[in-house]
Amino acid sequence: MPIRNSFYVLMCNFKLVYKLLFFILIIILIAVALTFSIVRPIFDGYYDFLREQFEYHAEEMIRHPIKTIQSFFAIFLEYFDINSAFINLKLLKLAFLFIGLRFFVMLPMMPVASVIYSKMTTNFDKGLFNSFVSSLPQCLLYTLITSIIIGLIDLGLLALVALTTVQLVKLIGITALPLSLALCIALFSLRMALLCQWMPEICQNNGKKIFSAFKTSLKPTFKQFSKNYICITVVNTLSVVAISTTLVPTAGLVPILLVPTLIVLYQSLYLTLNFSYRKQKYFIDNGVTVYDPNKIF
């Protein structure tokens, strides 16, 4: 099935993860520094406001942690209402930072997909740098379009989830957080499922005519939408679980390493889904095993 085979393809193209890692680390360090400079005034103001509004009782906080978190959240909403103009300005800066960050993260997507496509169809190891140089104009155009349009869509989805979370917390308390997380996964899986066949169709056209590739991607997108959506939702859920369970124990190291891994994994998944639609045979390892979608789901 596509999920299983995408992990096989990931493993036989794992050297791409190492090549992307240094590039991703630089982007993350810059993004963290800029984000911290933007949000620090918000949290400094919130901390001062919290000290004025909340009486600290260590024993009470330990005995009722959920109630304490709800109090912190309620005070933050009050702080937000009082300082809405200031916070909205900071959020606007974060939105521009998000779109810029997305551009650089998306930049290697087309070369990575091209290398994986070559490996899956011919078992030939195509160089990542050579692939990037040969498709530079198309790569820049695709990255610019997706960074702006999809970036704005993602910001809209995040805003929707945030507003929903606020309302749910007011209604049912802290138990709203798992529901909000499930909603977030469902919405982003939907967005990804609607566009997941664009890059594979670009690869099928040898990296040319990205707009015509988008048109041809509509057919495999909607013909097997349920399959695409289920597979992407499963992988998204596994990714969230992996990141959330390793974030604190590894001080964020494993989630950082997972970023380039997930880039390669998602491109592998999109290609396996595309080949499944086309009933096209492909290699799932280093030239040993050929997978035939005509025989197995």
Tens digit of each residue's pLDDT (9 = 90 or more) over 201-211: 999 987 668 89
Does residue 99 fall inside a structural domain? yes
Number of domains within the chain: 1
Are 281 and 2 contacting, i.e. CB atoms less than 8 angstroms apart? no
- Identify the pLDDT of residue 63: 67
- Identify the pLDDT of residue 281: 87
Does residue 257 fall inside a structural domain? yes
Does residue 255 fall inside a structural domain? yes
Contacts of 11 (CB under 8 A, 6+ apart): 285
Q: How far apart are CA 214 and CA 217, in angstroms?
A: 5
Does residue 226 fall inside a structural domain? yes
The residue segments making up the domain with residue 109 are 2-291
Does residue 296 fall inside a structural domain? no
Does residue 297 fall inside a structural domain? no
- Identify the pLDDT of residue 297: 43
Per-residue pLDDT of the chain (297 residues; tens, 9 = 90+): 789 999 999 998 999 999 898 888 888 888 889 999 998 998 888 888 877 776 666 566 666 666 777 777 778 878 888 888 888 898 889 988 888 888 998 899 999 999 999 999 988 888 888 888 888 889 999 999 999 999 899 999 999 999 998 888 878 877 888 999 999 999 999 999 999 999 999 999 876 688 999 999 999 999 999 999 999 999 999 999 999 999 888 878 888 889 999 999 999 999 999 999 998 888 887 766 777 666 544
